Structure 1
Amino acid sequence: MKTLVVNKKQIGLAGIATLLMASCQQVQPVAKTEPGKSWLAGDHHVHTHYSVKWDNSVFPPAPILGGDAKYSIPLNAQMASHYGLSWMVITDHGGPNRAKLALEQAYPELVASRKALPQILQFYGMEFDVPGNSPGGRHASLIMPHRPSEAEQLYQIESRYNGRQGVPPGPEKAEDAFMLQALKAMDALADKPLLFVNHPARLASGFRQYNKVTPAQLRDWQDAAPEVVVGMSGAEGHQAATLNPDGSADLNAIRGEYPGYPTMGGYDQMTARLGGVWDSLLSEGRRWWVTGVSDSHGHYTDGWADFWPGQYAKTYVYADKNYDSVFSALKAGQVFVTTGDLIDALFVDVAVNGSARTASAGQTLTVTPDDELVLRVRFRDPDSTNGGGFNPQVARVDLIQGMITGAVANRNSDETADTKVSQRFYSTDWRIKDGYSTFELPLGKVSKSQYLRLRGTNQAAELEPQPDPKGEDPWQDLWFYSNPVFIEVSASQS
């Protein structure tokens, strides 16, 4: 296979297209990977030229290809592969008759792209327009399992339930209850899709002033379809909004295009705020995962607000390199998210001393009050430059601990009383072994069910992620988050 060589700071579309065509002509199927799981980077929110605008001067409205996103499916896949992704999901916007467009045009292009670029797993999906009183801004990544029925199954979901489908959409799609009906229908399918809520607080009017998507709705959606609704994006797309096409800073622009309240270290406030929405959901014992995406519509060097898939944010899953394994890992929360290639591997294990009992991200360790526990962490900080040409270093890792207290009385709760950073680790606290930074922490005996999660950054002095100022360089403010390990305390065994 010919390698695609690009300039990381100035990537011209015409040059990439020419190289892509040459590359695709010479692609050979890749050899099957060795058995055994590894951390595989991906992106579940990628737009293509099938995120169309609509010509409403004719009836029915006609699609305008490239109207809201610029690139073809294979170009996105080629660039995702170039930036180290093993998997991605095509998630184009809906619209008046987008279901037909997807089935007849977008899906055949995806099939061709899979054949041309077999080194990257390419899932079929869409950016689902959530029904409700104000569907604008209420979006979710809908990911289809890789099955022969995937195209028809998405067509049925989109044509029946997508909030913007129809000319005009039916009045029932203006009701929040219709989203619950849609989710129950998805949950009843034999091959269930996955749904991650996109940019949940992008339209918040202020700090903890949620708009369009509320904590109560997140709870309602997961309760309606617990095997479908599994989390939300944390590291948001449009991170290159503060960069001009030449790479200089646009001092009036906002990272992530969050107008009412900014991202915090590049992450949505529902994820980044300690003891906030995410912790409130976890404190109920919910299996609720966070991810990182590009939300790529067009590259900043072409005058848009985005990085290429995988250039800045990556969602890592611990899986074999095949569709079913990646899908299962996403569903199970065997996931961490990072920006700027701060790390490329992260193992967070809680173990019972003196036994083989252990649990990692997304898993539950059942213990008794007499068990002595230990936390074991290994992460890898790659010794290479990232998509911005930098080689950032991890300056600090935080251990976050929260109690599991059961269902909240207030469904709109966005806080927990006892979530805390229980320990901070710096470079002097870990040692390097076989390319990994490692450390352990005795946890002792625990009497209450709880969860542990990790957060790391290249900012040694910024103890909590702060609101991102206008014009901030996203490459200088990097964070990673693990998903939680749950500890369930049972009665002592005599």
Structure 2
Amino acid sequence: MTFVVNKKQLGVAAIVTLLVASCQQVQTDLNTEQSKSWLAGDHHVHTHYSVKWDSSVFPPAPIIGGDAKYSTALNAQMAAHYGLSWMVVTDHGGPNRAKLALEQAYPELLASRKALPHILQFYGMEFDVPGNSPGGRHASFIMPYSATEAQQLYQIEHRYNGRQGVPPGPEKAEDAFMLLALKAMDALPDKPLLLANHPSRLATGFRQYHKITPQQLRDWQDAAPDVVIGMTGAEGHQAATLNADGSIKPNAIRAEYPHYPTMGGYDQMTARLGGVWDSLLSEGRRWWVTGVSDSHGHYTDGWADFWPGQYAKTYVYAEKDYDSIFAALKAGNIFVTTGDLIDALYVDVLVKNTDKTATLGETLLVSAEDELVLRVRFSDPDGPNGGGFKPQVQRVDIIQGVISGAVQNRSSDEAPDTKVTKRFYAGDWQTKHGYSEFELALGKVSQSGYLRLRGSNNKDELEPQADTKGENPWHDLWFYSNPVFIQLHTAGP
């Protein structure tokens, strides 16, 4: 920052004030990055305003607590207890949920924010995606923090939510109506974010997608690229295999995926190497994955869920304020973990002998002659996780893919060029100042691509396997980073 000062017009005190202000601004700029840290959160949390509806009266009447048990403040308290810095309230819709949310649920959120300011509480909803048979087609709809957040959400929910109306209008049975909804979201004064929830929960088999398909994901992002940013990877309802006393239900399905299971607790669209996620990334799409609780009620109360943050965490690299966290989510500076396998992850791709570098969600512009290096640091939490265990990372996989451009088949769910470049085991990294560290020479690149990381407490399970009935979720833990993009710059004629 530079000040041009006319000393004839300003006294000494004023000049000193300006110089001090200049120094303070420079120090603020320097401290901005230093004040950032990895902040854990959960963008899919239900409160007792996720209601059921009494259809014996007209219009249908809400039954508070019908499909989720706890108040906003209790969810926030427990989220903070399990190490979260932020969460998003995402109650789902219904015949007249928009009015209920505006008049009852939102005031409760405001009260919870005031009572528990140490955990940042975003306003959102579980958006019922319009289209044929909307059941199971859900997305986390997250509003940025603002004085008009409730009115803006109401505007979208009242007009476009798939279950809103008595009955919902016939136009809401068409997939095209979702594209109109996304354009309306994109036109809001404060653009929200949208992530597809449990995208393969109703898949009829492996690579047999139902309700949400790869084509729809592409269509949604193309309609509103500043709004649609990704999907959940680590799914909710992970305590479905636990009895109230913590013992195992031998025939229960982890994460409540009825037809084809999760893979290491993650949706097959994320977990399958060279699958849907990699297919989207190989187009150059900024498509992020996250982890959530989808908490309706705790397993000790006879439900299927963990508390927010007890099992899955979405980490963003941000300052602890609403704007910074929202920006980090949008930018993809994110990693996700289950069971507190790690609590910090620094991934840097750099050009050797320069100061050019990029991290998660960012793009590194390189030439064909540049030598690239990957540097990784991660840390394990000091204490036990939400299950009382202290898991250790046994392996970290470096995954690289090629950016080949837009696909001709918009239903494509494969990226055959995506490979595990290198597997690192516990003996391959060093521990310094509480961090495990390793480095990998990537060499020169001949085409644009991306790099992402995956790690596990299972040394020998080289690829995530389909979860079996009665599986203990605490024994099968994974983390995933979002990608770093590498763009090859070719000199023009």
Q: Check whether TM > 0.5.
A: yes
1:152 corresponds to 2:128: no
- 3-state DSSP of counterpart to 1:279: helix
4+ residue runs of structure 1 moved beyond 2 angstroms?
A: none
Question: AA paired with 1:143?
Answer: I
Distance in 2 separating the partners of 1:493 and 1:52: 59
Give CA-to-partner distance per residue, 1:116-164, whole Å, 9 cap, x none: 0000000000000000011000000000000001010011110000000
- Correspondence for 1:38: 37
| Counterpart residue type for residue 177 of structure 1 | A
Letter of the structure 2 residue corresponding to residue 423 of structure 1: K
Q: Secondary structure at the match of 1:379?
A: strand
Report Cα offsets for 1:384-417 as digits up to 9, x if no partner: 1000000000000000000000000100000011
1:446-468 deviation digits (Å, cap 9, x = unpaired): 01000000000000000000000
Residues 246 and 56 of structure 1: CA distance in aligned 2, closer, same or farther (over 3 Å): same
| Aligned-partner SS, 1:230 | strand
**1:70–1:298 Cα contact (<8 Å) kept:** yes
Distance 2:281 2:428 in 1: 28
Which residue of structure 2 aligns with residue 17 of structure 1? none
Partner of 1:198: 197
C-alpha distance in 1 between matches for 2:491 and 2:175: 45
Q: How does 1:439-450 map to 2 (within 5 A)?
A: 439-450=438-449
Using the TM superposition, give the Cα deviation of residue 493 of structure 1 relative to its aligned residue in structure 2, in angstroms.
8.8
1:267-306 to structure 2, matched below 5 A, reads 267-306=266-305
Look up the equivalent residue of 1:153 and give its one-letter code: Q
| Inter-partner Cα distance in structure 2 for 1:190 and 1:106 | 22
Q: Structure 2: which 5+ runs fail to align?
A: 1-31
Per the alignment, in what secondary structure is the counterpart of residue 266 of structure 1?
Answer: coil
Q: Which amino acid counterpart does residue 139 of structure 1 have in structure 2?
A: H
Deviation at 1:34, TM superposition (A): 10
Contact 2:152–2:188 (CA under 8 A) maintained in structure 1: no
- Give 1:316's aligned residue: 315
Residue 375 of structure 1 aligns with which residue? 374
Q: 1:75 to 1:34 in 2, by over 3 A?
A: farther
Residue number in structure 1 paired with 2:398: 399
Partner of 1:7: none
Query: Any idea what SS the aligned residue of 2:124 has?
Result: strand
Amino acid at match of 1:244: N
Contact 1:203-1:212 within 8 A present in 2 as well = yes
Q: How does 1:199-238 map to 2 (within 5 A)?
A: 199-238=198-237
Question: Within 5 Å, which residues of 2 pair with 1:407-418?
Answer: 407-418=406-417
Distance 1:176 1:115, change over 3 A: same
User: Aligned partners of 2:491, 2:339: CA distance in 1, in Å?
Assistant: 45
One-letter identity of the residue aligned with 2:448: S
Q: Distance in 2 between matches of 1:370 and 1:45?
A: 44
Pair 224,34 (structure 1): closer, same or farther in 2 beyond 3 Å: closer
Report what 1:57 is aligned to. 56
Structure 2: distance between partners of 1:396 and 1:78: 33
1:171 corresponds in structure 2 to 170
Q: Could you tell me the percent identity over the aligned residues?
A: 80
3-state SS of paired residue (2:88) = strand
SS of residue in 2 equivalent to 1:486 = strand
Letter in 2 for 1:415: E
Check the 8 A contact 1:36/1:320 in 2, yes or no.
yes
Give me the whole-angstrom Cα distance separating, in 1, the residues matched to 2:247 and 2:139: 32
Distance 1:394 1:455 in 2: 10
**Distance (Å, rounded) in 2 between the aligned partners of 1:457 and 1:35:** 29
Check if 1:105 corresponds to 2:95. no
Instruction: Give the CA deviation at 1:492.
Output: 4.9
SS of the aligned residue for 1:463 comes to: coil
Residue type of the alignment partner of 2:140: S
Aligned to 1:428: 427
- What is the alpha-carbon distance in structure 2 between the residues aligned to residue 239 and residue 448 of structure 1? 39
SS, match of residue 295 in structure 2: coil
Measure, in 1, the Cα distance between the counterparts of 2:75 and 2:188: 30
**Greater CA radius of gyration, 1 or 2?**
2
Secondary structure at the aligned position of 1:100 is classed as: helix
Partners of 1:368 and 1:493 within 8 A in 2? no
Give secondary structure in 2 for the equivalent of 1:350: strand
Deviations 1:311-358 (A, max 9, x none): 000000000000000000000000000000000000111000011100
**CA distance in 2 between partners of 1:52 and 1:258 (Å):** 22
Distance 2:442 2:69 in 1: 50
> What secondary structure sits across from 2:439 in the alignment?
strand
Q: Distance in 2 between matches of 1:433 and 1:78?
A: 34
Find out whether 1:92 has 2:91 as its counterpart. Answer: yes
Matches of 1:222 and 1:230, distance apart in 2:
7
After superposition, the Cα gap between the structure-2 partners of 1:368 and 1:378, relative to the gap in structure 1 and judged at 3 Å, is same
Aligned equivalent of 1:490: 489
Match of 1:141 in 2: 140
Distance 1:251 1:421 in 2: 33
Query: How many residue pairs end up in the alignment?
Result: 462
TM-score of the aligned structures, taking structure 1 as reference length: 0.93
Contact 1:351–1:358 (CA under 8 A) maintained in structure 2: yes
CA distance in structure 1 between the aligned counterparts of 2:381 and 2:66, rounded to whole angstroms: 37
Instruction: Report the Cα offset of residue 166 of structure 1.
Output: 0.4
By how many angstroms is 1:383 displaced?
A: 2.6
- 1:450-469 superposed matches below 5 A: 450-469=449-468
Quote the RMSD (CA, aligned, Å): 1.1
Q: Specify the SS of the correspondent of 1:186.
A: helix
Determine whether 1:437 maps to 2:420: no
Q: Residues 213 and 256 from structure 1, CA distance in 2 versus in 1: closer, same or farther, beyond 3 angstroms? A: same
Amino acid at match of 1:184: K
User: Does the aligned pair in 2 maintain the 1:370–1:492 contact within 8 Å?
Assistant: no
**Equivalent-residue separation in structure 2 for 1:451 and 1:109 (angstroms):** 43
Query: Aligned to 2:91, what secondary structure does the other structure show?
Result: strand
1:60-79 aligned at under 5 Å gives the runs 60-79=59-78
Tell me the SS of whatever aligns to 1:99: helix
Cα distance in 1 between the residues matched to 2:154 and 2:34: 34
Shift of 1:190: 2.5
Q: Report how far residue 101 of structure 1 moved.
A: 0.2
The superposition leaves residues 220-256 of structure 1 with CA deviations (integer Å, 9 ceiling, x where unpaired) of 0000000000000000000000000010000010110
Does the 8 A contact of 2:394 with 2:456 survive in 1? yes
Answer yes or no: is the 8 Å Cα contact 1:196–1:230 preserved in 2.
yes
